[in-house]
Amino acid sequence: MATNTERAGADLFGRGLALDVNGGWGGYWIAMLRLLTGYWMFHAGITKLMEGGLMMDATGWMQYGAQGTLVHPITNWFAQNAAWLPNLMIPMGETLIGLGLMVGCLTRLAAFFGTLLMVFFYVGNAGFGHGFVNSDLMGLLLMVTMVVFAAGRVLGIDGWLVNTEFAENNAWLRYLI
């Protein structure tokens, strides 16, 4: 698979930066994080699909599990008016986000939706029983890391996609990969 050359040589708040993800440990680690984060999300989705089919029942969490949290008005509305959407999107989304991350295809798009999902899971922690800094927040941060570093361009399909003529002529696509 293609390895894309990315070198961020820049200035941040007056201090020089030289984070090199071209073939060294930086690139290796970004690819490793992407693979393992992808598997984590894929496993979460595929097991829901295998156990419950296309639709899971998330209404209990949306109505009662997230009660008292900042996202409850949104989750409660969906539970009462359009439960089919999150019931379909949670298992399908997790599976597709995980697949995208594992193979590094449309990684930023996948990780964006992963971030959105993790925001709901994190903010929807009623009582923060596992602490304010918990695994949901760590998952959220991993997803953002995938977006920031365009992780699929290192040892992923995006490394080839970003060099296609179509991607070179369409800047919007490069934001998604």
Partner 1 sequence: MKQPNELTKADRIAMLGGGIPIALGIVVLGLINTLADAPAAPVVEEGTTVATPLIPVDLRVGLVLLGLLVWAGYAVYKLGVAPTADGQVGGAGTGQPR
Task: Pick the binder of partner 1 from 46, 92, 105, 147 (CB under 8 A).
Answer: 46
Using rule CB under 8 A, residue 12 touches partner 1: no
Shortest CB 27 distance to partner 1, Å: 9
**Residue 86 vs residues 25, 75, 77, 103: alpha-carbon distances, Å:** 38, 9, 11, 25
Contact 158, 164 (CB under 8 A): no
Q: Which two tokens stand for residue 106?
A: 């449309």
Nearer to partner 1, 26 or 65 (CB): 26
Using rule CB under 8 A, residue 73 touches partner 1: no
Shortest CB 154 distance to partner 1, Å: 12
Q: Is the dihedral of CA 57, 59, 64, 67 positive or negative?
A: positive
Nearest C-alpha neighbor of 92 from the set 64, 56, 120, 123: 56
Using rule CB under 8 A, residue 50 touches partner 1: yes
Exposure of 29 by Cβ count < 10 A (0-12 exposed, 13-18 middle, 19+ buried)?
A: middle
Backbone angles phi, psi at 79, to 5 degrees: -60, -35
Task: Pick the binder of partner 1 from 2, 20, 63, 134 (CB under 8 A).
Answer: 20
Stretch that binds partner 1, among 45-53, 76-84, 88-96, 121-129 (CB under 8 A): 45-53
Shortest CB 127 distance to partner 1, Å: 27
Task: Pick the binder of partner 1 from 18, 70, 165, 172 (CB under 8 A).
Answer: 18
Task: Please count the residues of this chain forming the interface with partner 1, following the rule CB under 8 A.
Answer: 21
Task: Pick the binder of partner 1 from 2, 33, 39, 83 (CB under 8 A).
Answer: 39
Number of Cβ within a 10 Å radius of residue 134: 15
The C-alpha angle with vertex 15 and arms to 14 and 21, in degrees rounded to 5, equals: 135
Task: Pick the binder of partner 1 from 1, 5, 10, 43 (CB under 8 A).
Answer: 43
Provide the binding-site residues for partner 1, judged by CB under 8 A: 7, 18-26, 28-29, 32, 35-36, 39, 43, 46-47, 50, 102
